[in-house]
Amino acid sequence: MKNLIKVERARNSITQAELAEKVDVSRQTINSIETGRFVPSAVLAFKIAKALNIKADELFELEEGD
Amino acid sequence: MIYIWTSIIDTHMKKLSQKQSLLFPYHQAIKWLGLTVLLFAVAALAFKLIHRQWDSLKPVPELISLGLVFIFFSKEKMDDERIHQLKFRSLSLGFLYSYFLTFGFQYLFSRAATAHEFIATAMVFTTAIYYFAKSKV
């Protein structure tokens, strides 16, 4: 699953640590999601989208094979 | 009796699904207790090996498994869903590797591993896999 977290973080000028604190996960988890090594649950995906002021389906996109 | 047990398990599972922080039951500080038990087991093993007391190594696997269970099932500082997934994957791999190792041991030495030896081996694999996977960020 592709995501635009890095782009949206840059647009909102927040670091991985700040985003992690907002959604109550570790910075390593945000990093893993950004790099595509970990696919978050729907709840976490919605929380991240809300923290970045964007819709979840705009932030996350299914790839072929998902 | 079975009905009582299933209702207890059902209630616990409902609580788990409502609150994921209940998934790993022990407080963070229990990790230190686990580490102490593990160090005691390693010291006991070293002592017995130095004094060539091969016949009385029995409590060592018990202590190692107990220590590692405390370490592995304790909550992390940030206990999020990635940690839960890593722990679940580590457990599934650890127990599978342990099964093959103890099976090979039984085949080679014609002695079945005890339950505690199996659990100790599984927990060693599980904990090692978990901390390795966690460090790969």
Detail the DSSP E strand segments found in A1-66.
Answer: 2-3, 60-61
**Domain-embedded: residue B9:** no
What's the pLDDT at B23? 65
**Domain-embedded: residue B123:** yes
CATH number for the domain harbouring residue A18: 1.10.260.40
Q: Which domain holds residue A50?
A: 2-60
Contact A41 B81 (CB under 8 A): yes
**Domain-embedded: residue A44:** yes
User: What is this model's ipTM?
Assistant: 0.84
Residues of B in contact with A36 (CB under 8 A): none
Dihedral sign of CA atoms B93, B96, B99, B103 in order: negative
Amino acid at A23: V
The answer, yes or no, to whether residue A3 has pLDDT greater than 80, is yes
The count of domains in chain A is: 1
Q: Which domain holds residue B79?
A: 24-135
DSSP string, B106-121: HHHHS-PPPHHHHHHH
Share of chain A above pLDDT 90, in %: 85
**Domain-embedded: residue A65:** no
The count of domains in chain B is: 1
Q: Which of A62, A15, A10 is CA-nearest to residue A36? A: A62
Element (H, E) at B125: helix B115-135
CA distances for A33 relative to A17, A27, B44, B63, angstroms: 13, 10, 43, 37
Contact A26 B80 (CB under 8 A): yes
Q: Give B110 to chain A, closest Cα distance, Å.
A: 43
Contact B81 A28 (CB under 8 A): no
Return the residue of A nearest to B83 by Cα: A29
**Domain-embedded: residue B11:** no
pLDDT in tens, chain B (137 residues): 677 777 777 776 666 655 655 667 788 889 999 999 999 999 988 888 888 877 777 788 899 999 999 999 998 888 889 999 999 999 999 999 999 999 999 999 888 888 999 999 999 999 999 999 998 87
